Structure 1
Amino acid sequence: MRVLDTHDEDLRRLTHERHKVFAKFTAENCPTCEQLTKPFIQFSNDPTFADILFVRLNSEENPVAKQLMEERAAPFFVSYCQGQLLECDALFTEEEVKDMILRLSQYTPKAS
């Protein structure tokens, strides 16, 4: 799987079309965003996470993402399952990102 560069409108659609989505919101001139680029791509290619769609949004090009980033530090990560937001946080290390992806991969929605 590769990382899909997308925008606000498509993110909403993708979170409802795909079972699990992991999104990275980035900002220009963000050293931590750059530092986590390679691990993010590696996680997207890891067979363990094959059922997760990895997406990236540039906050400067997306109004909803930009508003979110003004309230939080970059990079900001969000996990979705069946269209619902599960978890969101500013993460700064590869280990934090991996832990969040693992929680998403192991998440099983409760039957209604």
Structure 2
Amino acid sequence: MTEEARQHVVDADDEHLRHLIHEHLKVFAKFTSENCAICEALSPGFAKFVDAPENVGILFVRLNSDENPVAKKMMQQKVAPFFVSYCQGRLLECDALTTDAEVVAQLERLRAFVPVK
């Protein structure tokens, strides 16, 4: 993983996300929506997670679900923000989360996941 990828959240679309989840061992994606108050409230925490030493090796990605049909379909009945964990190109977990504590818990499960060799 490049130094640049660790230092910021990568904004992506559906196609770019598909490539990223296969190029990086672990990916943590946040699907947002326009005018989403919870999305805005969780943004500072999400940005801090990128720089946390325990999250080295996880690529953080943000998608606007309003502009990406695959992300929108994945959310279906859910509301933004919607968080998705991937490992080795496979979806591990996805859920609508509304607090930093819930995001931290999902990140901990992603960190603890042992990939297949």
| TM-score, reference length from structure 2 | 0.90
Determine the C-alpha separation between the residues in 2 that align with 1:85 and 1:62: 18
1:75 and 2:102 are equivalent in the alignment? no
How many pairs were matched up? 111
Q: 1:32 offset after TM fit, Å?
A: 0.4
| Secondary structure, aligned partner of 1:39 | helix
Determine the C-alpha separation between the residues in 2 that align with 1:110 and 1:2: 27
Q: 1:95 offset after TM fit, Å?
A: 0.3
Determine the C-alpha separation between the residues in 1 that align with 2:106 and 2:57: 15
Q: 1:35 offset after TM fit, Å?
A: 0.4
Task: Give 1:27's aligned amino acid.
Answer: S
| Structure 1 unaligned spans of 5+ | none
Moved more, 69-78 or 11-20: 69-78
The 5 Å alignment of 1:45-56 reads 45-56=51-62
Over the matched positions of the two proteins, sequence identity in percent amounts to 57
1:33 corresponding residue in structure 2: 39
Determine the C-alpha separation between the residues in 2 that align with 1:8 and 1:85: 14
* Aligned pair partner of 1:66 in 48, 72, 83: 72
| Secondary structure, aligned partner of 2:72 | helix
Q: 1:69 offset after TM fit, Å?
A: 3.2
Determine the C-alpha separation between the residues in 1 that align with 2:84 and 2:75: 12
1:88 and 2:94 are equivalent in the alignment? yes
* Aligned pair partner of 2:23 in 11, 17, 20: 17
Task: Give 1:48's aligned amino acid.
Answer: E
1:101 corresponding residue in structure 2: 107
Determine the C-alpha separation between the residues in 1 that align with 2:13 and 2:55: 22
Q: 1:73 offset after TM fit, Å?
A: 1.2
2:3 corresponding residue in structure 1: none
Task: Give 1:106's aligned amino acid.
Answer: A
| TM-score, reference length from structure 1 | 0.94
1:42 corresponding residue in structure 2: 48
Q: Write out the 4+ residue segments of structure 1 that deviate beyond 3 Å after TM superposition.
A: none
